[in-house]
Amino acid sequence: MSNLVISNLHVNIAGKEILKGLSLEIEQGKVHAIMGPNGTGKSTLAYALMGHPLYEITQGTVIFKNQNILELSSDERARMGLFLAFQYPVAIPGVSLANFIRTAINSRRKTSEDKGISIPEFRKMLKAEMDNLEMDHSFAGRYLNDGFSGGEKKRAEILQMAALKPEIAILDETDSGLDIDALRIVSEGVNKLRGPKLGVLVITHYQRILNYIQPDHVHVMLGGRIVESGGPELALQLESQGYERFKVSDPQG
């Protein structure tokens, strides 16, 4: 199993420390959810794990496949099997969703032995994944996120995840900006991809997405640390009681 093991992670951005000793293990085959208020470092964790250059790692390790991935570039981490679904996906006019996904697959697969996915193989695979996610095939020909609604952007992210088949997927506030119908559709897509080979980290403010994507573990994040962990019932407690009772556990609170 290829677990992602985060140990004592400290991260600065623009000279300010945001993550202050965060530790967490995400197992393949399990869904973890991190919940916390604005400004606690949830998105910082996502970007730091994927190697965003503005996020400075000052201490700690992130071990994946027996390697500290903090020493690797973002594309090397992606090729190893990490995936990030963005809170605010960027539009790329002129590049179709299909071409973008095929380029990403080839970038991950291409070695001296593997020359990448052929066009017929790719078309067959993409249609199958779109059928599984109940997406119209015409969606693949549209320019990436250009003119997409919030729900369409998030569905495009899930399609990319389906095609790339990561081992660890990080969903950074995928529920942001979605109405109830779009949230249900996106969540159903994630649930169809769940299985023993995929570990998922769901980052969210609200419990509502966890009504659709049932987590195995829920973690409360405050002040750049995990201050409490539990099962799905912990998310329900947060929904009804808020974060106040956890601030006693938070050295920064």
pTM above 0.85, yes or no: yes
Structure tokens of 140? 């693949």
- 61 Cβ contact partners less than 8 Å away, ≥ 6 residues apart: 5, 6, 7, 8, 9, 68, 70
Indicate the SS3 state at residue 169.
strand
Query: What value does the mean pLDDT take over residues 123-133?
Result: 93
Q: How many CA atoms lie within 13 A of 120 on its CB side?
A: 0
Q: Please state, in angstroms and as integers, the Cα–Cα distance from residue 13 to each residue in 17, 56, 237, following that order.
A: 7, 6, 31
Query: What value does the mean pLDDT take over residues 169-184?
Result: 90
Query: What value does the mean pLDDT take over residues 179-193?
Result: 90
CB 38 within 8 A of CB 48: no
Domain boundaries, the chain: 4-90+166-246
Judged against a pLDDT cut of 50, whether residue 84 lies above it is answered with yes
CB 145 within 8 A of CB 92: yes
CB 85 within 8 A of CB 163: no
pLDDT tens digits, 197-207: 999 999 998 88
| Alpha carbons 161 and 164: distance in angstroms, whole number | 5
Q: Provide the CATH topology of domain 4-90+166-246.
A: Rossmann fold (3.40.50)
User: How confident is the model at residue 231, as a pLDDT?
Assistant: 96
Please compute Rg for the chain using Cα positions.
Answer: 18
If 0-12 CB within 10 Å is exposed, 13-18 middle and 19+ buried, where does residue 221 land? buried
Q: In what order do the strands lie in the sheet with 55-64?
A: 16-26, 4-13, 55-64, 67-68
* pLDDT interval class at 253 (50, 70, 90): very low
